[in-house]
Amino acid sequence: MELALSIDKEIPPQLTRCIDIMKVNLSQMITIGEIAEKLGCSTSTLEELFKRHFHTTPRKYFDDLKYDKAKQLLASTALPLSEIARSIGYRHTMHFSRAFRNRVGMTPTEFRKKKTE
């Protein structure tokens, strides 16, 4: 973060705690409502904070964290797809593969092959 940012642009502690909760729960099917409850705020307050500071929604931010982890694991490990899927909250590899393809534009296997060539 640049020093020139004004105080209102600094990330509030509540938002930092939210991101920590997301990172700890990547493999869980936790909802944004449950995260908001853990923080003692409403879902709409959390949505406003994310839009103001990150220009995105909490759901998209959480999904980005999950898929970043999946991409990192695919590129740097030989873990089976089933284990990678579970690490970001999917119970079924097929659902993970379909969602990954829709989001990234290629299957997890294609992504891994491309990154390890």
pLDDT tens digits, one per residue of 3-53 = 333 344 688 999 999 999 999 999 998 999 999 999 999 999 999 999 999
Residue whose pair of structure tokens reads 């839009």 in the numeric block: 51
Does residue 7 lie in a domain region? Answer: no
pLDDT score at 1: 33
Range of the domain at 102: 12-116
Q: How confident is the model at residue 80 (pLDDT cuts 50, 70, 90)?
A: very high
Average pLDDT score over the chain: 92
Do the domain assignments include residue 80? yes
According to the model, what pLDDT value does residue 116 have?
Answer: 86
Q: How confident is the model at residue 117 (pLDDT cuts 50, 70, 90)?
A: confident
Tokens standing for residue 44 = 């709409």
Domain membership flag for residue 5: no
pLDDT tens-digit readout, 87-100 = 999 999 999 999 99
Inside any domain, residue 1 = no
The predicted pLDDT at position 5 comes to 38
Spatial neighbors of 53 by CB under 8 A, at least 6 apart, are 9, 11, 12, 15
Tokens found for residue 42: 């409403």
> What's 66's domain CATH number?
1.10.10.60
Q: Does residue 2 sit within a domain? A: no
| pLDDT for 9 | 63
The total domain count for the chain is 1
6 is a domain residue? no
- Measuring CA to CA, which residue among 105, 82, 78, 77 is closest to residue 93? 82
Asked, for residue 4, whether it belongs to a domain, the answer is no
Mean pLDDT value across residues 65-75:
98
pLDDT of residue 10: 85
Give CA–CA dist 60/56, Å, rounded.
7
